[in-house]
A and B are shown apart, each in its own frame.
Chain A
């Protein structure tokens, strides 16, 4: 920690949050808001005189509310930067000013304001960590109802030498030193009812560690662990588990169904011991809930800002679970630690190093090759209507409206979604590698034979196509008449592709992309949604059943959803008769002749 604080190459911004990211791999521009600390962190020596005189008392977050701090405070003695901070929502301000008077260094400034910082970076490491599970909703364990039921994180503070009790374990209700402690495992993990369905990975070993710490303090302490399975899979873990059992810690297989408080403040645990098959009651002085790991609260906001994907559990989704475990699907962005999934310190450190190595691999040449999958304006066809400028999520297209000059694409800023090409009414934009002709040729071939039996699906590269891959990796079986055409973004799916497909005899067409808010191209899929809506209205007018065109959002993690949508599409296809297909074809062919005189 201290190394990171004083490293000449590291600029540390605490009390800071990323508020916006623009640009692309190699050259991101990041906006950061640095909230005012109200204490000059370079001159503060953390002498602590200010906190001594501060009259405002609040629960101490670092100690999980088990102790108090002042409105001017340092989160913990070893904090980096080693400087106090004022929470201005709590401070009484000028009217009090006691801290100002005692600060010799004069580093306190009530008028310090939030700063907006802009940073340029070639790569980004997302290490936003975790949020501990709040067990209040698990009423059967009585957390918050009973003072002597604490979370594992509160327990950590109670046994920590730097904690509110200087490491002497007491139970909150009567400050008695407990002679028996129970641990309940999987609180908020591996449950379909409450919390997450996944294993939180660290709680088994954390409890085993805690039992060893307790036995070290007090070898006679009675300790019981209520568990489903003990997952001691890491290097050296089984040894610790064995040591804990040898020291007399009792492991009871079964999660308690109910906890009640006895008159003397002890906790009575009712549990079905699944080894003996009997319901047992255990009285413990203190009960510790081994809480699971949840994604950090800001995960979704950052995900939207950076155009990343999440797993169904809400953690960040990696580009490949085995071969690119720290890469995001977006080039230049890497994950480290619990942001990607629950993990212990060793794994977090490993991933931190891996993310650094991946970032260095990208940056070491000082040059970046850009993907040439960008759009191009055919100036002779451009009518300077400005539609492309409006739809481009990256502001990569410019046009001088006054001069009516043709639009121009900044290829470095263009990310290649193809929305401009799909929206251009004059066919003046070529989307490289996904041109109209290239895509239409796929449609033509697909529908040459047995068109009426096929489910034509346009899938965006980042979400739905990846979701289809995920269905494959999971071996989920779905109807075999599904045929995918990949585009980089669903925003590329031009209206004319859809009409062309129906004209060629497609019974149904599915356009699929990332969920709204998850689009890899910021918000390009908003245009997909609008466009599909428009086409469906036109279909209705023409007397074509609009249900034959479907829009579905499928994320990269939703293999199950992909398979289900495909099954639904197949049902829909079966309801489309040969006559209906033929009538549509004739109608569209007639329209074609009328609009395009040969």
Chain B
């Protein structure tokens, strides 16, 4: 999993940042020169470790990051991989497991917003990846720990629509002991399904 590592020994700095440039198999690596990005990131102030990694989200990938956090005393992490909309929860969880505040992690979107959309412009994509990683390092340096609040929750579900899907959801919830409020616009539940004669693939009645 470990491919190219750039370690800077600098204990003076306040922030101790680790940067992980994910190849995502070839999804990122076939367009972006991940090694160059990792090397460049290693030169940014406060970056203690910078690595190229095959799949950051995989178990071995996360293990590499967690080991680094321990070994190098990292306190902030930049994962340069896919969209945070996909894997931000994954890496926040990883931070927790490594004993760090999950909000001290920042992602640079090198896949959806770089390698996949600039496939015919490889040098430019690499330049953009460098920028994105640099921006994430600047941001992660200034992030502060945040703490989630735990609140009581209402164990009840509102189901809007009493067709076959709504009925099924309502019954499954209700059978599991949850209260359900089922709201239907018309005078009866059943929806479109109730109007059908036989239904495929079983060719039996719909009601």
Contact = CB atoms under 8 A, between A and B. Distances in A.
Interface of A: 1, 3-5, 7-18, 26-28, 30, 32, 37, 62, 64, 74-76, 78-81, 83, 85, 119-130, 132, 153, 156-157, 159-161, 163, 167, 205-206, 208-209, 212-213, 234-237, 239-240, 296, 298, 302, 320, 323, 334, 336-339, 344-346, 348-349, 351-353, 355-357, 359-360, 363, 365-373, 411-412, 432-433, 435, 437-439, 441-442, 444-446, 461, 465-466, 468-469, 471-473, 475-478, 480-481, 483-486, 563
Given A62-B195, A337-B166, A75 B86 contact: no
A370 B149 contact: yes
A353 B117 contact: no
A475 B119 contact: yes
Contacts of B116: 472-473, 475
Given A1-B190, A85-B187, A469-B83, A360 B197 contact: no
Contact of B128 (A15, A352, A483): A483
B7 interface: no
Interface stretch (B9-17, B61-69, B199-207): B199-207
Q: Do most interface residues of chain A lie in helix, strand or loop, or is the interface mixed?
A: mixed
Contact of B192 (A17, A129, A336, A485): A129
Interface of B: 83-86, 103, 109, 111-114, 116-121, 124-125, 127-128, 131-132, 134-135, 137-139, 141-144, 146-201, 203, 206-207
Interface centre among B142, B175, B188, B192 (most CB of A within 10 A): B188
Nearest to A373: B146
A213 B112 contact: no
Contacts of B167: 1, 4, 352
Given A339-B165, A477-B120, A78 B181 contact: no
B194 A1 contact: yes
A357 to B, nearest CB: 7
Given A26-B151, A441-B135, 19 more contacts: A4-B174, A9-B177, A9-B178, A13-B183, A13-B184, A14-B188, A15-B185, A16-B183, A124-B157, A337-B164, A356-B168, A363-B153, A369-B148, A466-B85, A469-B113, A472-B113, A477-B120, A478-B118, A481-B128
12 contacts: A7-B171, A13-B181, A14-B184, A32-B183, A153-B195, A213-B198, A334-B169, A348-B164, A353-B169, A370-B148, A478-B117, A480-B124
Contact of A348 (B85, B165, B175): B165
A76 B190 contact: yes
Contacts of B142: 435, 437-438, 441
